[in-house]
Structure 1
Amino acid sequence: MLTLETVSGMAGVGKTAVAVDTARTLAPRFPAGQVFLDLRGHSPSQEPLSPGTALAMLLRLFGAPADSIPVRLDELIALWRTTIADRRAVIVLDDAAGPDQVAPLLPGNSPCLTIITSRRHLTGLPHAVPLALDVLPTDDAITLFRSFAGAARTQDITETARIVRLCGHLPLAIELVANRFRSRPSWSLTTLGERLARSPGPLGEIRNADQEILRAFSLSYRTLDATQRTTFRCLGLHPGPDFTAESAAALLDLPHKETERLIESLLECHLLREPAPDRYRFHDLLGEYARMLALAEDSAREREQALERLIAWYLRNAEQADRVAYPRRIRLAPNGAQELPALSHMPNTHDARAWFAAEYGNLLAVERHARTHDSRPSAARLAHALAGFLESECHWQDAIDILQYAADHWSRTGDQPAQCHALLCLSSNHANTGRYAQAVEAGERALEIARATGDREAEWEAYRILGVIHWHIGENETAVVMHQRAFAIGIATGNVLNQARSRNNTAISLLALGELERALDHFQNAISGFRSAGDEAGVIRTLNNVGDLYAHRGDYVQARKTFEELLPLTESTGNAYTQAMVRTNLAANLAETGEIDRALALHHRALTEFRILGDRKSQATAYNGLGEAYFKEGSVDASIENHLKALDIARDIRTSQEVTRALRGLGQSELASGRLEAAAEHLEAAIAAANRANARDEEARAQAILAEVRATTGDAMEAKELLRRAISTLRGLNDREANRLHKLLTRIDHGETDF
């Protein structure tokens, strides 16, 4: 049963501290763990987390892959509630903007404890127990002060009580004063108390949260020297969630060592925090105060120049990280005008990708700032530098707006090479998330520009992407043509890796067309090419496809062996999509060999991963796999339910191979349950869809099941004709299935109708 607490109160009253301490105290009762999520309801520099983004972060905290997020809110909510349904955990949702933000995040009928903090009183949340915080009692205020100031110098409880009284018993004021005291070892408690009592500052005159916070900050600010004040104001301009000394140096236009010393001086004053080693951030209200001072005390040109330096720094380093992390990716030529020093801690692929991961939130914030503050070319180039990371780490939803903006920007400026590259990235992103019409449009426009500008590398990429899209939607003959054209470019340019990728992609579509021997030849050549190019991930992907070929032949034992050997290799690569796809393929083969329970578990796990990735086509694949496994288990209703889900998705995104498979599965289940008319209708639709896509083996399988329907209804002549067509198609492709159908034909010839 859901347990929900809302903690509200004035700024600085200690809502977060209470929530975190409660979670820690109750930890033994909630063995599934404790998580904390800042909803940024009142962040001065960032929008509040959307429910979708917040749900994605919660899923990651509970073990979902960190390199992906779902696309649709309803799927996120369902996945979150499924994930948390049986877990006893404490979830702290900090700084909520309002009920609409947090309602989708509640874990439903779960044994979790959810604690929500907000500066507002939250209404409309079912089962919520409200807790309004006030200032601390004297004893607690003293304890809080001593915990920050240190017990050794705070033995005089009477003088300490006087200090906390002068602080109004407000936790933030107490913390600020205690930390200041700790940084002044020559001071006594009497010295601090006297300064607070005679100070013109606000501590004894607090009236509301805003006045108290601003005056407390002003008191700290006035203790800084001129250089520290400039630093404080300028750092407040950073649009991201945190910063490093390197990015701060760019913003301040100072050497790295001097920047580090200034940051350390602000840390001493507790005007900055260091939540992780060498990463710094403001308290949200301190950051707001710093920006307010910058607006009041610095000129518009000074602020603009600081932010221009910061944007240029992130762009230069993102471009370097992109080249180190993804050396084989096609990209724009570097902008020679940007001569800023690059990061020194990026010697290899691992470090470059780690830099992207650490700076991801800042990169998004800087791109957004550049896009909306007259730095549009930099925003477009930053989008291009980010595209490889967004693609490989499956941040597909975050990429949508960024890549679309870049394509639109270069279209407006008339820079065709840049527009071509942006369209290629956009087309691939659309394909990843099932927006195939938009993907084709962007890909064809990129191809047109690549041809016009003579960019052979971009032309190869356009053909590759278009070929993959046509495979997704079942147009495999067109896909083969696209990949063959890409292969010809790979030959002409001598690019062994591109040749291998084209061969692998060609083979995938040939496999869908039932040309197994040609497909195997291409797969084998692709593996050799990938090995020559040193691309182990390409080898793994191709071996997965070879396993799929074995399954098409009906050699489920060899297919299963291939997938089981591959699975640990894919898990070591860290690519969530490849892992999920191998699990799906292994599950399908386990179902064929009778290990239904294990098959169902793998299908469900893969489905969850595909949801997180936002890959709708693969979700349809997983639902169809579940439908087939449930049918083999004898759970006909569950089979129908999953095939219907697959059909809805597949029709929505126009992927004919999963439409055909879903229709065939529905027909088979309806035949088993005696709904012969519905079975025939679905099977006829499956045959038509497979015929349009020239998917010969899928058409044959649907024909064989329809033959059983016709034989059951007494139409032996049509049943035999359907079986003959299916046997003719499958002979040489899947001899085991062809032999089974031949036996069925013999039974019909003998007048049998009970199948």
Structure 2
Amino acid sequence: MAELDDDERSVSATFDLSCQELPPDQRRMFALLTVHRGPDIDVSGAAALAGTGVRQAERLLDRLCKARLIDHAGPGRYRLLDQVRVFAAEHAVLPLADREVAAGRLLDHVLGMAEAADVLLSPHRYRPDFGLPPATSGFAGLAEAKAWLAVELPNLVALCRTALVYGVYNRCWQLAYTLGGYFYLARLWDPWIETHTMAIAAARNLGDQRAEAMTLNNMGVAYVDRGERDQAAACYQRALGLFRVVGDEHGLSNCLVNLAWVRHYQGNHAVALRDMWRAVEFYRHAASAGNAAITLRGIALMQVDMGAVTYAIRHAADSLAAFRRLGMTLDAVLALNILGHAYFKVGNHTRAAACYREAIALSEQNGSRSEAARAELGLSRIATAAGRADEAAGHLARAERLHPAAGDH
């Protein structure tokens, strides 16, 4: 405090006085708010942090607002001002053990919410058992889950760091893993890689090789999506070794499929297709219909790139039928875009356009703006080929509004 100027000393003195006047329960809540490193927190999160009921947490937060130690950040949301956060970290100190327990409570709560959202986003995705307490709340539907994820994203990323700092290593990698589906849907590469980098450190601190392998495998997908194939290959190779060590055949097959994409982009098509078909056989034997269909769709896309379009149409259509049976809407959208592209390649523009229009309609249900943009680009190419310049420009403009990077694809 000796380095503070007069204005800072005045703020510090005001803070000290305000803090000293707080009743013990308010002082405790104020101190606990510094555990969370995100920009704000909602009432349910604060209740989990403090181990209180929601009504009691709201009462404490409102009184801290009246004391001008925290501020409202929207309906039911609160934030510590940056300058106050610094002073609070220095003066409103709780024992480390209390802070660690509070961090664990908050992470349990948020991970439960994130998992509930992910179930709605990707209902057929594989999820390990995280041993979470029974859920006390959830979401009314997909739209509400996506809205929660969008609002909470900066806090979710920050909570991965909180978990790492306070040694709650299992929740760090589990939260990052759970957010992977949303990152993929929204194409959020930077937070995807940031959270998974922290998750790898957490898994290594735990000595959990399977968790490290799963995290590396998921992070490789982000690198491929971002066009950084060497980085992706390094992730996949490390993950393959770890999956072999722990004897995880399912994880090994997932990783081989992902690595096959890198090999395909590198021009090694024969090896890529070989590994993809091996994975399909494994998934079928393991009764993993969703994974088998996803991999078959990938084979179709590779075949389009290789010029084997007739085979691609058959396999894309087979995967689409499986996704419809399984209710995997987002995956169906991806299959429709591949099928549309394949039909366009063979000159069947009527069927191509029908696929793209259905992809757009389904995208509105699951909120995949990037895939809707891809379908609009497909319709733009069809209109261009038919000499309908104004129609083509309209589809291109819609694609760019849906996903600003669409024109780069």
Q: How does 1:32-43 map to 2 (within 5 A)?
A: none
1:460-508 CA-to-partner distances (Å, cap 9, x unmatched) read: 3223322333344444333322221121012101222222222222122
Shift of 1:414: 4.2
Structure 1 distance, partners of 2:114, 2:60, is 25
1:470 aligns with 2:268: no
Question: Which residue is equivalent to 2:42?
Answer: 244
2:264–2:302 contact (8 Å) kept in structure 1: yes
Structure 1 distance, partners of 2:156, 2:230, is 29
Structure 1 distance, partners of 2:286, 2:405, is 38
Shift of 1:373: 4.3
1:235 aligns with 2:33: yes
1:487–1:499 contact (8 Å) kept in structure 2: yes
1:346 aligns with 2:144: no
1:583 aligns with 2:376: yes
The secondary structure found in structure 1 opposite 2:41 is coil
Question: Which residue is equivalent to 2:125?
Answer: 329
Structure 2 distance, partners of 1:409, 1:230, is 28
* Percentage of identical aligned residues: 26
Structure 2 distance, partners of 1:246, 1:597, is 51
Shift of 1:405: 3.4
Structure 2 distance, partners of 1:290, 1:447, is 45
Question: Which residue is equivalent to 1:364?
Answer: 157
1:550–1:558 contact (8 Å) kept in structure 2: yes
1:124-148 CA-to-partner distances (Å, cap 9, x unmatched) read: xxxxxxxxxxxxxxxxxxxxxxxxx
Q: How does 1:562-711 map to 2 (within 5 A)?
A: 562-600=355-393, 602-603=395-396, 606=399, 612=405, 619=408, 621=409
Question: Which residue is equivalent to 2:58?
Answer: 260
Question: Which residue is equivalent to 1:508?
Answer: 301
1:530–1:538 contact (8 Å) kept in structure 2: yes
TM, length-normalised to structure 1 = 0.49
Residue identity matched to 2:291: N
The secondary structure found in structure 2 opposite 1:239 is coil
Q: 2:227 aligns with which of 414, 422, 434?
A: 434
Q: How does 1:448-527 map to 2 (within 5 A)?
A: 448-527=241-320
The secondary structure found in structure 2 opposite 1:509 is helix
Structure 2 distance, partners of 1:539, 1:320, is 22
Shift of 1:413: 4.9
Question: Which residue is equivalent to 1:79?
Answer: none
Q: 2:148 aligns with which of 351, 355, 379?
A: 355
Shift of 1:402: 2.2
Residue identity matched to 1:329: R
Q: 2:70 aligns with which of 242, 254, 272?
A: 272
1:168-220 CA-to-partner distances (Å, cap 9, x unmatched) read: xxxxxxxxxxxxxxxxxxxxxxxxxxxxxxxxxxxxxxx95323433444444
Residue identity matched to 2:125: R
1:610-662 CA-to-partner distances (Å, cap 9, x unmatched) read: 6658xxxx82x4xxxxxxxxxxxxxxxxxxxxxxxxxxxxxxxxxxxxxxxxx
Compared CA separation, residues 218 and 411, structure 1 to 2 (3 A): closer
Q: How does 1:25-36 map to 2 (within 5 A)?
A: none
Shift of 1:289: 3.3
Question: Which residue is equivalent to 2:239?
Answer: 446
Question: Which residue is equivalent to 1:26?
Answer: none
Q: How does 1:84-163 map to 2 (within 5 A)?
A: none
1:310 aligns with 2:103: no
1:332–1:421 contact (8 Å) kept in structure 2: no
Compared CA separation, residues 319 and 345, structure 1 to 2 (3 A): closer
1:229-259 CA-to-partner distances (Å, cap 9, x unmatched) read: 3322332443221112222223223333322
Q: Which moved more, 1:402-411 or 1:414-423?
A: 402-411
Q: How does 1:541-556 map to 2 (within 5 A)?
A: 541-556=334-349
The secondary structure found in structure 1 opposite 2:37 is coil
Shift of 1:350: 4.1
Q: How does 1:71-86 map to 2 (within 5 A)?
A: none
Question: Which residue is equivalent to 2:188?
Answer: 395
1:556–1:593 contact (8 Å) kept in structure 2: no
1:322–1:386 contact (8 Å) kept in structure 2: yes
Q: 2:90 aligns with which of 292, 310, 315?
A: 292
Residue identity matched to 1:427: G
Residue identity matched to 1:267: C
1:325–1:350 contact (8 Å) kept in structure 2: no
Shift of 1:433: 0.6
Question: Which residue is equivalent to 1:55?
Answer: none
Structure 2 distance, partners of 1:236, 1:410, is 25
The secondary structure found in structure 1 opposite 2:57 is helix
TM, length-normalised to structure 2 = 0.86
1:345–1:351 contact (8 Å) kept in structure 2: no
For structure 2, the residue ranges without an aligned partner over 5 or more in a row are none
Compared CA separation, residues 251 and 556, structure 1 to 2 (3 A): closer
> How many correspondences in the alignment?
405
Compared CA separation, residues 231 and 509, structure 1 to 2 (3 A): closer
Compared CA separation, residues 303 and 448, structure 1 to 2 (3 A): closer
Q: Which moved more, 1:307-316 or 1:501-510?
A: 307-316
Compared CA separation, residues 370 and 214, structure 1 to 2 (3 A): same
1:326–1:349 contact (8 Å) kept in structure 2: no
Structure 2 distance, partners of 1:433, 1:474, is 18
Shift of 1:456: 3.6
Question: Which residue is equivalent to 2:332?
Answer: 539
For structure 1, the residue ranges without an aligned partner over 5 or more in a row are 1-206, 622-755
Structure 2 distance, partners of 1:232, 1:406, is 28
Shift of 1:429: 1.0
Structure 2 distance, partners of 1:412, 1:373, is 12
1:330–1:457 contact (8 Å) kept in structure 2: no
Shift of 1:343: 4.3
Shift of 1:606: 4.3
Residue identity matched to 2:123: P
Structure 2 distance, partners of 1:440, 1:242, is 37
Shift of 1:563: 2.7
Compared CA separation, residues 588 and 572, structure 1 to 2 (3 A): same
Compared CA separation, residues 447 and 225, structure 1 to 2 (3 A): closer
The secondary structure found in structure 1 opposite 2:180 is helix
1:245–1:259 contact (8 Å) kept in structure 2: yes
Shift of 1:587: 1.9
2:330–2:368 contact (8 Å) kept in structure 1: no
The secondary structure found in structure 2 opposite 1:276 is coil
Structure 1 distance, partners of 2:387, 2:231, is 41
Q: Which moved more, 1:593-602 or 1:245-254?
A: 593-602
Shift of 1:428: 0.8
